[in-house]
Chain A
Amino acid sequence: MKFLNKKNIFNLILILSIYFIVEFLINRGIIDSYIILNIVVIGVNIILAVSLNLITGITGQFSLGHAAFMSIGAYASAIMTAKLGQPFIVGIIAAALSASLAGIIIGIPTLRLKGDYLAIATLGFGEIIKIIGLNNDYIGGATGLNDIPQYTNWTWIYFCVVITIIIINNFIKSYNGRACISIREDEIASETMGVNTTYYKILVFTMGAFFAGIAGALYANYFYFIRPDSFGFMKSIDILVIVVFGGIGSVLGSVVGAVMLSIISVFLQNIPELRMVVYSVILFLIMVYRPQGLIGKNNLRLFKKRGVLNGCAHSK
Chain B
Amino acid sequence: MDVLTVNNLCKSFGGVKAISNISMSIEEGEIVGVIGPNGAGKTTFFNLLTGIYSPSSGDITYNFKKEISSRDFKPFKMPKYGVSRTFQNIRLFKNMSVLDNILIGYHCNLNYGILPSLFRLPSFYRNEEEAYEKAVELLKIFNIYDKKDELAKNLPYGEQRKVEIARALAAKPKVLLLDEPAAGMNTNETKELTKLINWIKDEFSLTIILIEHDMSLVMEICNKIFVFDYGTLIADGTPQEIQTNPQVIKAYLGGE
Contact = CB atoms under 8 A, between A and B. Distances in A.
A193 B125 contact: no
B117 A176 contact: yes
A313 B107 contact: no
Given A188-B75, A193-B108, 8 more contacts: A3-B122, A171-B117, A174-B124, A174-B128, A175-B110, A188-B52, A194-B171, A197-B76
Nearest to B129: A313
A306 B100 contact: no
A297 B96 CA distance: 10
A194 B109 CA distance: 9
Interface in A161-210: 167, 170-171, 174-179, 181-182, 185-186, 188-197, 203
A28 interface: no
A307 interface: yes
B80 A194 contact: yes
Nearest to A312: B128
A18 interface: no
Q: Report whether over half of chain B's contact residues are helix, strand or loop; otherwise say mixed.
A: helix
A175 B79 contact: no
A179 B104 contact: yes
Interface stretch (B34-42, B87-95, B186-194, B204-212): B87-95
A296 to B, nearest CB: 11
Interface of A: 1-3, 167, 170-171, 174-179, 181-182, 185-186, 188-197, 203, 297, 306-307, 309, 312-314
A185 B78 CA distance: 20
A174 B100 CA distance: 11
B149 to A, nearest CB: 5
Interface in B100-152: 100, 103-108, 110, 112, 114, 117-120, 122, 124-125, 127-129, 131-132, 148-149
Contacts of B174: none
Interface string B164-183: 00011001000000000000
B60 interface: no
Interface string B29-58: 000000000000000000000101000000
9 contacts: A175-B117, A181-B95, A188-B91, A189-B91, A193-B84, A193-B104, A307-B149, A313-B125, A313-B128
A179 B124 CA distance: 15
Q: Report whether over half of chain A's contact residues are helix, strand or loop; otherwise say mixed.
A: helix
Contacts of B95: 181, 185, 297
A186 B117 contact: no
B104 A309 contact: no
B209 to A, nearest CB: 15
B64 to A, nearest CB: 15
Contact of B167 (A178, A193, A203, A314): A193
A197 to B, nearest CB: 7
Nearest to A194: B108
Interface in B215-240: none
A189 B149 CA distance: 20
A253 to B, nearest CB: 15
A309 B132 contact: yes
A175 B103 contact: yes
B85 interface: yes
A178 B119 contact: no
A187 to B, nearest CB: 10
Contacts of A195: 76, 104, 107
Nearest to A174: B117
B94 to A, nearest CB: 6
A175 B128 CA distance: 8
Contact of A3 (B52, B100, B120): B120
A306 B117 contact: no
Nearest to B119: A170
Contacts of B96: 178, 181-182, 185
Contacts of A182: 93, 96, 104, 107
